[in-house]
Amino acid sequence: MNKEQLKRYNTGKIFWCVKCVVPSNYAQGIEFDDSGVCSGCRVAKEHYEEIDWVEWKNKFLNLIKPYVGKGNNYDCIIPVSGGKDSYYQTHIVTKELGLKPLLVTFHGDNYLPEAQMNLDRMKHLFNVDHHIFHVGKEALLKLHRAGFEMTGDMTWYMHSGIFTYPVRVAVMMKVPLLFWGEPPGVNRNGMYSHYDFIEMTRKFRTEHAQRGFDWTDFVGKYNIKENDMLWAKYPSDEELDTVGVRGIYLGNYFRWEQHEITKKMTELYGWQPKKTPYQRTYRIFGGIDDMHEIGVHDWLKFMKFGYGRCTDDASLDVRSGVLSRKEAIGLVKKHDPVYPSEDLGRWLDLTGYTKEEFDQICDKWRNKKIWNKGSKGDWYKDNIWDFPENSL
Ligand SMILES: [Zn+2]
């Protein structure tokens, strides 16, 4: 970190990257170099300036050669939600590589109509088999409540299922290769470099997607039984080794820029973003397979860390040149503090909480290093969004 950042750090204050808008208390690992630039910006430079993507596609083709084209099974599994990344993954696999995939979806039952339509069309557009899994209604309700109160993430079950169920199917169907989309912790915050070629593993699933919790933590709570969570049991090492399962991120080998992907998938396949604007960010092409992701779910992130989805989106867009830093700061100030009234009603109807109960439980998740309580019981933050022009 630079001198001014260090000064702030030493007094326990938050500071921001001098290039984008990520804060020093970013939810996953982040570092700052001597000039005050974050690891997310540094890794983005690899993506936009250093890597020869033609060469890296060849690395990928060599990597998959021993696994594909056997002719008696699926070549790979593609975990898909129906989002723009899912379309791009399937486009690469079927149209560019000519492989036969099995699409696998862990359906969280929170889809916006646009997202459901995108998902339903995939089997026809790409002429592929598609396996979709739903959790039963009562278990789903219990999981929403348990996730909210135990982990501060009402859609914990989705993050678990998305990174568990397709791996279970890979073992059941004896298909070693899973092709995931964008590698996590790379473009967003630079916790890993593109040169690390990370793969999806049990460690990532448990520590990041599941926030350190596992299905065993839920059994016996909120009347959740073990057989409510069969979908969440990750295969054993022995089962994974027998099939030779590997979780490859296509975003390690193919240029993965969200605006470019959205444009291409819209033009080629008529992929649809959200029809109306979000309250909590300005991008309309993310989160549509979970209508609460950028609503009540993101509000909890705001309680825990003092920033929300717009900070992530704007930082990515500064790095890709879509936004100036000044524009990004304006958007963050506009969107991050907005109360999620758009999707809250649906979630309260689903789970049976009152709005007062929701607010009270959210307050329990507020990080008291960030949030202060005023004399009238109102919450305020004293050092968030005081982005100086040349930010600390
Ligand atoms: Zn940065």
- Residue ranges of the domains in the chain? 51-252, 275-381
For ligand 1, the distance from its centroid to the CA atom of residue 18, given in whole angstroms, is 6
pLDDT for res 204: 92
Please compute the mean of the pLDDT values over residues 101-122 and round it to a whole number. 98
* Helices and strands per DSSP (H, E), number in the chain: 16, 8
For residue 199 the two structure tokens come to: 């793969």
Report how far Cα 105 is from the mean position of its chain's Cα atoms: 15
Return d(Cα 42, Cα 15) in angstroms, integer. 17
- Per residue in 286-333, pLDDT (tens digit) is 999 999 999 999 999 999 999 999 999 999 999 999 999 999 999 999
CA nearest neighbour of 172 among 143, 116, 133: 133
Pairing of strands 129-134, 101-107: parallel
CA of 305 to the centre of ligand 1 (A): 17
Identify residue 327 by its one-letter amino acid code.
E
For residue 314, report the distance from its CA to the centre of ligand 1, in Å. 10
Higher pLDDT, 346 or 373: 346
pLDDT tens digits for range 1-24 = 999 899 988 988 888 999 999 999
Q: What is the pLDDT of residue 390?
A: 47
**pTM for the structure as a whole:** 0.95
Which ranges in the chain belong to alpha helices (H)?
A: 3-10, 39-45, 53-64, 84-90, 113-125, 137-146, 156-173, 202-204, 215-218, 237-243, 258-269, 296-305, 309-319, 325-335, 341-351, 355-364
Looking up tokens 């470019």 gives 260
User: Residue 98: what pLDDT?
Assistant: 96
Joined tokens for residue 280:
């909590």
User: Per residue in 148-198, pLDDT tens?
Assistant: 999 999 999 999 999 999 999 999 999 999 999 999 999 899 999 999 999
pLDDT tens digits along 186-238: 989 999 999 999 999 999 999 999 999 999 999 999 999 999 999 999 999 99
In contact, 57 and 224? CB cutoff 8 Å: no
pLDDT tens readout for residues 79-91: 999 999 999 999 9
The token duo for 164 is 């568990």
Query: For residue 241, how many other CB atoms are within 10 A of its CB?
Result: 10
3-class SS of residue 92: helix
Buried b (16+ CB within 10 A) or exposed e, 295-313: bbbbbbbbbbbbbbbbbbb
How far away, in angstroms, is 12 Cα from ligand 1 center?
20
Distance CA 175, CA 73 (A): 7
Taking the C-alpha atoms of residue 176 and residue 242, their distance in angstroms, rounded to an integer, is 9
51-252 domain in CATH 3.30.1560? no
What's phi and psi for 79, nearest 5 deg?
Answer: -70, 125
8 Å CB contact between 247 and 169:
no
Assigned token pair, 342: 């758009």
The residues pairing with 104 across neighbouring beta strands, listed in sequence order, are: 79, 131
- At 376, the pLDDT band (50, 70, 90 cuts) reads confident
Cα–ligand 1 centroid distance for 32 (angstroms)? 8
The answer, yes or no, to whether residue 385 has pLDDT greater than 70, is: no
Residue 392 has pLDDT above 50, yes or no: no
- Between CA 107 and CA 84 the distance in angstroms is 16
Cα(260) to ligand 1 centroid in Å equals: 21
Residue 160: exposure state from Cβ atoms within 10 A (0-12, 13-18, ≥19): buried
For residue 375, what pLDDT band results from cuts at 50, 70 and 90? confident
Ligand 1 centroid – CA 208 distance (Å): 21
What's the rounded mean pLDDT across residues 363-390? 76
How high is the pLDDT of residue 374?
83
CA of 156 to the centre of ligand 1 (A): 28
* Residue 205: per-residue pLDDT: 95
Q: In angstroms, what is the span from residue 193 Cα to ligand 1's centroid?
A: 14
Amino acid 384: pLDDT: 54
Rounded Cα distance between 88 and 95, Å, is 10
Block residue for tokens 């696999």: 93
What is d(CA 93, CA 54) in angstroms, rounded to the nearest whole number? 16
d(CA 85, CA 267): 14
Q: 40 CA to middle of ligand 1, Å?
A: 5
pLDDT tens-digit readout, 230-289 = 999 999 999 999 999 999 999 999 999 999 999 999 999 999 999 999 999 999 999 999
Of the candidates 154, 88, 157, 81, the one whose C-alpha atom is nearest the C-alpha of residue 119 is 81
Say which residue the tokens 């700052």 belong to: 32
pLDDT band at 386 (very low <50, low <70, confident <90, very high): low
User: For residue 299, how far is its CA from the centre of ligand 1 (angstroms)?
Assistant: 22
| Nearest of 324, 340, 350 to residue 278 by alpha carbon | 340
> How many Å lie between the centroid of ligand 1 and the Cα of residue 21?
6
Listed residues: CB within 5 A of ion ligand 1: 17, 19-20, 38, 40-41
The SS3 assignment for 352 reads coil
The per-residue pLDDT of the chain, averaged, comes to 94
